Structure 1
Amino acid sequence: MTLRWLCGVLRVRGKTDLFLVLLLAAGFAALPVFALLPSLWGFAAASAVSYVADEVLHARSPSFVRRLAALQLTRTMRFTVRTVMLLALADRMNASDAVLVTALAVFSAHFALVTLYTAVHHAIRRRRTLPVVVRNLDMSGAGIPAAPPAFLYRRFLRKLLHLDLPAHAGLLVALAAGAWQPAGAGFALTAGLSAAAVLALLAQLRQARRMPSPDQVIAEVNRQLAGYRPEVALYFSFASVSRDFMYQVNMWIETLERLDRRPLIILRERASFRYLSRTRLPVVCVPKADDVAQLELPELRVVLYPGNAGKNVHMLRVAEAKHVFIGHGDSDKLASSNRVSKVYDEIWVAGRAGRDRYQRVRHAISDKAIVEVGRPQLSSIRLHADHVPGPLPVVLYAPTWEGWSDDDCHTSLIPMGVTLVEKLLAENVRVVYKPHPLTGKRSRAAAEADRAVRELLRADNERRDAERAQASVAAAKPRLAEIQARLGELAGRLGGDDAERTREARLPGPDGEAEWHELRAEWHRIFWESRGPVRHNVVVGQLPTLYECFDQADLLISDVSSVVADFVASLKPYVLTNADDLPDAEFRAAYTTAGGAYLLDRDCARLPEILRSVRDPRHDPMAAERRVLKEYVLGPDRPTSTERFNAAVNALAGRAAAEHEEWRGDGPRVAVGL
């Protein structure tokens, strides 16, 4: 428990990273000791340890490095401390005044050149910051120059600071040999390389000055959009945590690509753009509200919003379009019946349950504004009847996160997560643990419970034929990494900065889609096969997907969230956690998705009986309720959700176009933005 607490405080992942942190601390603590003794070989060893531990931690534990920076122990500060201690060692070993003065001058010049390099780098980066970042539009005519070479531009501080190594090594060798020529060679090499780096970057600054102005870039984007003529836009904003929330956009991409109308994706944060999945649709990322207003979208008739965010108002001001809240999954949480949704022209829900949920928010949403469109994303989920069980029952535990406040906290992790997993392991089942991406972001208790669950599963995996399973996982890693790299290329995640990605943006060709689906299928096949039929799995990345985890599972255990509503599509047994031990009738009345669920008490006393529904399908009293609930929550199977969603877009776009024509016939009017 102490180790877990210490790892949490230091923001490192485990014992190995914790050991590296202690090694780094020991190396820096030893530097002044060996400098003052003086001990040349002790100092050299401590310096080497501090260099190596620092580098490895940058790669393995960037969160710890950020914690150091927050405490003003930045990388530059650590290099400065190492240099000062080296000069103290040289003085204690009676180095000549000429050597000491030269060393001080060289190291001072080196740090001054690092500062100058940083200033030039920032100037280039400012000039290369575009008002709009684009994918799947031909931006070759924008006149954006190529990015500086990666070895000059990316992770530049990390490289520049290490140019002090020749001077460090030269001075240590000189102290050991008693001859000062090695020090002179090292000093010359450090000073020469630092100066050459600054001169090379200054040449890149001249090229960066040829960047087009913001108005020119937006004008080129508008020319490209005029050729495409978008009619439907998916608009998404979620501030600094966009990476964790990009599933809200990615889940809609295939649905958008099947529309009869021409869709466009509009993002508001640059981080969102980087984690967007593969799509052939045009994508524009516009961080500033003023630049959003400059986008010319005269034929835009429908705007779809997967989330409620403050920046939505920057698009809601477009009077010619109809605005629709589509959400990112139906659930019994407050977000799925929020009064804020009244600002939209329509709210699209999966089934009757969504309509009833909004009607419970009295006098907030008109029934006419609610349209049932199904959940097109769920068409690929394997049905219970088609599922082939493995040697052990597979339980998918997918708790939600702790929410923005305690009032919205539905997670079972804190009150019962560890107890639940302990009892699942005692029941000899295979656990697939998929926590919400934001688990532990607000609550330390949730983060600690998450770590405890992972540790339980890791320890049990070691007990279950660990050596062979670990060998299989290790053997699969290279191919999985290769596939993921190729998937990143197909998704358009190119190297370079945003300006370089926009410069290389082109209209999508027909190639790539088949390869994308084949590679994703291969990745999932290799992943699950390498894990074997009994190994527990912790799923925290974008792959494997949630719906792939659904297909693996015999039973879902989750909290009140959209995960449960989506799992209903499979007709498999599922469990809702009742951490407050409410009476069953009261709990089912409060939460629609509980209608077909087994309810699990806080102490998990009902778990053995619930697992009977998996081990003996004949003993599954909730099967009939799940079939009824599926249509109530997700709508009918015919027409398909894809057809209903497409029809809803067409109908609303037609209505918006008719109103626009009527508006033009009545003469121009002033539209006031929100």
Structure 2
Amino acid sequence: MRGKADLLLVFLFGASFAALPVFALLPSLWGFVAAVAVSYVTDEMLHSRAPGFIRRLATLQLTRTMRFAARMVMLLALAQRMGASATVLVVGLAAFSVHFAIVMLYSAVHRAIRARRTLPVMVRNLDMSGAGIPKQPPAYLYRRFLRKLLHLDVPAQVGLLVALILDDVYPAYAGFAVMTGLAVAALLALLWQFRRARRTPGEDQMIDALNQQLAGYRPEVALYFSFAAVSRDFMYQVNMWIETLEQLDMRPLIILRERASFRFLSRTWIPVVCVPKADDVAKLELPEVRVVLYPGNAGKNVHMLRVAEAKHVFIGHGDSDKLASSNRVSKVYDEIWVAGRAGRDRYQRVRHAISDSAIVEVGRPQLAPIKLHADHTPGPEPVVLYAPTWEGWSDDDCHTSLIPMGVTLVEKLLKENVRVIYKPHPLTGKRSREAAAADQAIKEMLQADNARHGGAKAEAAIAAARTRLQQIEDRLDELAGQSDGDDAEQTRLARVPDRDGSTEWQDLNDEWHRVFWESHAAARHHVILKRLPTLYECFNQADILISDVSSVVADFVASLKPYVLTNAHDLPDEDFRAAYTTAGGAYLLDSACARLPEILRSVREPRHDPMERSRRALKEYVLGPDRPTSMARFNAAALALAEKGRAELAEGRGEGHRPVVIPSQRTDSFNMPDSVEASAYQQSDGSDSGEQTDPADLVGLVDPAG
């Protein structure tokens, strides 16, 4: 529950359903009318306000269908207790039974249509108009169909109640007729749509259509991404590389493995294909792809790594001091690209597994939007960005400061007369209840402090800007190719985009952030949970960062602003700095936050900033030199590796050897690890139906936080 209003709705919801049998058996007609009306209204409101509560009701078998059936039974009981004729009761029972039978039939047909429209691939930014994919059924028949169908009982409910009030059977018969007629019409309309859905191209036809488009585009470099927990937004790991890929002197392609990934994909002109099944990945024809880039170390990477004709590169999604950022499984890649010398040295931890010659320093091209400290104008009150990492997959890799000191830190920040931007990691609270509780406590503290400092004025300004922000977001989604259609509809509408749209995209992004910060200026603190504003825009607003060991700190180093690393376990400063490279230019904060006032002097009194020189030295060590630019180095590395791959391939052919694709070793005894969420998604979506998992998929899952 999000608050008292939701709790009140739950109370009314439960009370109304409890009252239905009481008023039916008394009988009390007007009491029943009131109870059934409240039950309908609260049921609908809870679906939109507290979907988690509704899902939990379903686990107790109190599904939406069961709730509608209960209302129907109670209404017939009321009619019988009030002396309704046997004919009315029999007709009513028959009408309601037919209605529920039609609901079952409709659900079966809808499921059949969805199964036929679940394509083996999803495509964006390639012209798939020739694939012959039928248009999606109309939304009023296809989307949220169960809610609409069940609500067709309202005419019957109203008709029977009116009949009881007026002591006249005709309103009841009219209500039954309307309910049954509408249900039959809906079923017939969907059956017509099923007839059209049967023309959906089969698996081989879709793969052939995609390969024809790829043959025309001739991609040379591919970014390959998979992550099991698709119910969360992991696409930041891909989105951070899109602009870099677009600037390469090679034709790029993005290959995704989870259908849900498309929901979070940012705007790009790069062709994007989503191929859920491993067998279908093997059917992609990519003869000119010489370099494959991997931003994550996921199990399904093995399905692409077996392609022997390409060179495989781990690029990661941030340079972090975590052990997961130098995982020994990286040995499976031909090269590992890191930002600077620090990344190379980090892999010395596993030097018995990773060859130094496989490490290439390419910088961090995506850090260009971060403003330098010299270009930043601080406000009258210091702005502190607190961006803790999450709790990790296990206690062994738990680096978050939220559990041991997060609440204490924010309490002391509020006493220091500073403004706080709180941006937790997207996975915060996923594994640990303690982290979730600390996260919630911090949000409540910041909200309460905002209320004490002119909260009403700030809320009014934010509300006034909400409409414009939503308009911009809708246009951004449109430019990103997102639509309300299902996977097949989005693929059917896929076209080669106009690359000039990048200017409008950037202008809209800039306007969104300008409107956001201007409208939120009156608010003292900000809690950032959504994709916008971006992390780097939060960097630009902040005077100082407080964070944990993560790639967030390495990226912030580019600004040369003061930053703080949390030393939650109170290690000696020398030991902490020796363990974590990015601590070399950081202020270290103890678990009791006793050092906080002194640390904040570096912002309030810029001349008192003893770590400034260390930060400047650390920037080049962590991120590489400013010249040549990161983009130039990244592009050169890609071109050089592609040329190396071509040369090796030509040499192998000259010696009479054929490049091979290592076949997948199939088994029935393995399932993807750490992906309860993914399993639930696959069961509901059917995207991995019939796919078995390669045993090698169990290797090398690492921390998605970087």
Question: 1:392–1:534: 8 Å Cα contact kept in structure 2?
Answer: no
Aligned partner of 1:238 among 227, 230, 240: 227
Instruction: Tell me the secondary structure at the aligned position of residue 538 of structure 2.
Output: helix
Corresponding residue for residue 671 of structure 2 = none
Cα distance between partner residues in 2 of 1:413 and 1:234 = 33
Aligned partner of 2:14 among 11, 25, 40: 25
Aligned partner of 1:553 among 523, 538, 542: 542
Does 2:379 correspond to 1:407?
Answer: no
Corresponding residue for residue 598 of structure 2 = 609
Structure 1 residue 23: Cα displacement: 2.1
Structure 1 residue 494: Cα displacement: 1.9
Instruction: Tell me the secondary structure at the aligned position of residue 589 of structure 2.
Output: strand
Does 2:597 correspond to 1:598?
Answer: no
Structure 1 residue 448: Cα displacement: 1.1
Cα distance between partner residues in 2 of 1:163 and 1:203 = 20
User: Which deviates more, 16-25 or 491-500?
Assistant: 16-25
Instruction: Tell me the secondary structure at the aligned position of residue 152 of structure 2.
Output: helix
Question: 1:301–1:321: 8 Å Cα contact kept in structure 2?
Answer: yes
> What does the per-residue CA deviation read over 1:424-478, in whole Å, with 9 as the maximum and x for residues that have no partner?
1111111111011111111111111111111111111111111111100000000
Does 2:375 correspond to 1:383?
Answer: no
Structure 1 residue 533: Cα displacement: 5.2
Instruction: Tell me the secondary structure at the aligned position of residue 348 of structure 1.
Output: strand
Structure 1 residue 241: Cα displacement: 2.6
Structure 1 residue 70: Cα displacement: 2.4
The AA in structure 1 aligned to 2:207 is: I
**Equivalences for 1:129-144 in 2 at 5 Å?**
129-144=118-133
Does 2:215 correspond to 1:226?
Answer: yes
Question: 1:38–1:89: 8 Å Cα contact kept in structure 2?
Answer: yes
Corresponding residue for residue 644 of structure 1 = 633
Aligned partner of 2:435 among 439, 442, 446: 446
Larger relative contact order, structure 1 or 2 (CA cutoff 8 Å, min sep 6): 2
Cα distance between partner residues in 2 of 1:74 and 1:236 = 36
> Judging changes above 3 Å, is the alpha-carbon distance between structure 1 residues 533 and 384 closer, same or farther for their aligned structure 2 residues?
farther
Cα distance between partner residues in 2 of 1:302 and 1:137 = 21
**Equivalences for 1:474-623 in 2 at 5 Å?**
474-532=463-521, 534-623=523-612
Question: 1:229–1:299: 8 Å Cα contact kept in structure 2?
Answer: yes
The AA in structure 2 aligned to 1:349 is: V
Cα distance between partner residues in 1 of 2:650 and 2:4 = 67
**Equivalences for 1:423-438 in 2 at 5 Å?**
423-438=412-427
Cα distance between partner residues in 2 of 1:672 and 1:194 = 53
Runs of 4+ in structure 1 over 6 Å off: none
**Equivalences for 1:15-164 in 2 at 5 Å?**
15-164=4-153
Q: Identity of paired residues, percent?
A: 77
The AA in structure 2 aligned to 1:465 is: G
Corresponding residue for residue 280 of structure 2 = 291
Corresponding residue for residue 630 of structure 1 = 619
Instruction: Tell me the secondary structure at the aligned position of residue 137 of structure 1.
Output: coil
Does 2:359 correspond to 1:373?
Answer: no
Cα distance between partner residues in 2 of 1:14 and 1:335 = 38
The AA in structure 2 aligned to 1:399 is: P
Cα distance between partner residues in 1 of 2:442 and 2:458 = 20
Corresponding residue for residue 662 of structure 2 = 672
Question: 1:91–1:100: 8 Å Cα contact kept in structure 2?
Answer: yes
RMSD (Å) for aligned C-alpha atoms: 1.1
Corresponding residue for residue 201 of structure 2 = 212
Cα distance between partner residues in 2 of 1:330 and 1:607 = 26
Cα distance between partner residues in 1 of 2:292 and 2:583 = 32
Instruction: Tell me the secondary structure at the aligned position of residue 292 of structure 2.
Output: strand
> What does the per-residue CA deviation read over 1:247-297, in whole Å, with 9 as the maximum and x for residues that have no partner?
000000000000000000000000002210000000000000000000000
Structure 1 residue 242: Cα displacement: 5.6
Does 2:259 correspond to 1:270?
Answer: yes
**Equivalences for 1:183-194 in 2 at 5 Å?**
183-194=172-183
Corresponding residue for residue 3 of structure 1 = none
Question: 2:232–2:427: 8 Å Cα contact kept in structure 1?
Answer: no
TM-score with structure 1 setting the length: 0.97
Cα distance between partner residues in 1 of 2:606 and 2:296 = 38
**Equivalences for 1:287-436 in 2 at 5 Å?**
287-436=276-425
User: Which deviates more, 651-660 or 58-67?
Assistant: 58-67
User: Which deviates more, 364-373 or 383-392?
Assistant: 383-392
> What does the per-residue CA deviation read over 1:499-555, in whole Å, with 9 as the maximum and x for residues that have no partner?
111111001113421111111100000000001155211101110000000000001
Cα distance between partner residues in 1 of 2:61 and 2:323 = 41
Structure 1 residue 313: Cα displacement: 0.3
Cα distance between partner residues in 1 of 2:517 and 2:183 = 49
Question: 1:243–1:271: 8 Å Cα contact kept in structure 2?
Answer: no
Question: 2:98–2:180: 8 Å Cα contact kept in structure 1?
Answer: yes
User: Which deviates more, 208-217 or 257-266?
Assistant: 208-217
Corresponding residue for residue 9 of structure 1 = none
The AA in structure 2 aligned to 1:501 is: Q
Instruction: Tell me the secondary structure at the aligned position of residue 303 of structure 2.
Output: helix
Structure 1 residue 416: Cα displacement: 1.0
Question: 1:432–1:538: 8 Å Cα contact kept in structure 2?
Answer: yes
Cα distance between partner residues in 2 of 1:33 and 1:348 = 70
Cα distance between partner residues in 1 of 2:459 and 2:52 = 27
Question: 1:347–1:370: 8 Å Cα contact kept in structure 2?
Answer: yes
> Judging changes above 3 Å, is the alpha-carbon distance between structure 1 residues 534 and 211 closer, same or farther for their aligned structure 2 residues?
closer
Question: 1:577–1:602: 8 Å Cα contact kept in structure 2?
Answer: yes
Corresponding residue for residue 247 of structure 2 = 258
Cα distance between partner residues in 1 of 2:145 and 2:627 = 57
Question: 1:597–1:626: 8 Å Cα contact kept in structure 2?
Answer: yes
Structure 2 spans left out of the alignment, 5+ residues: 665-706
Question: 1:305–1:324: 8 Å Cα contact kept in structure 2?
Answer: yes
Instruction: Tell me the secondary structure at the aligned position of residue 368 of structure 2.
Output: helix
Corresponding residue for residue 8 of structure 1 = none
Cα distance between partner residues in 1 of 2:612 and 2:322 = 24
Structure 1 residue 219: Cα displacement: 0.2
The AA in structure 1 aligned to 2:287 is: P
Instruction: Tell me the secondary structure at the aligned position of residue 421 of structure 2.
Output: strand
Instruction: Tell me the secondary structure at the aligned position of residue 240 of structure 1.
Output: coil
Structure 1 residue 18: Cα displacement: 2.4
Instruction: Tell me the secondary structure at the aligned position of residue 323 of structure 1.
Output: strand
> What does the per-residue CA deviation read over 1:12-55, in whole Å, with 9 as the maximum and x for residues that have no partner?
32222222222212222222222222221121111111111111
Aligned residues: 663
TM-score with structure 2 setting the length: 0.93
Structure 1 residue 389: Cα displacement: 0.9
Structure 1 residue 68: Cα displacement: 2.0
Cα distance between partner residues in 1 of 2:24 and 2:335 = 72
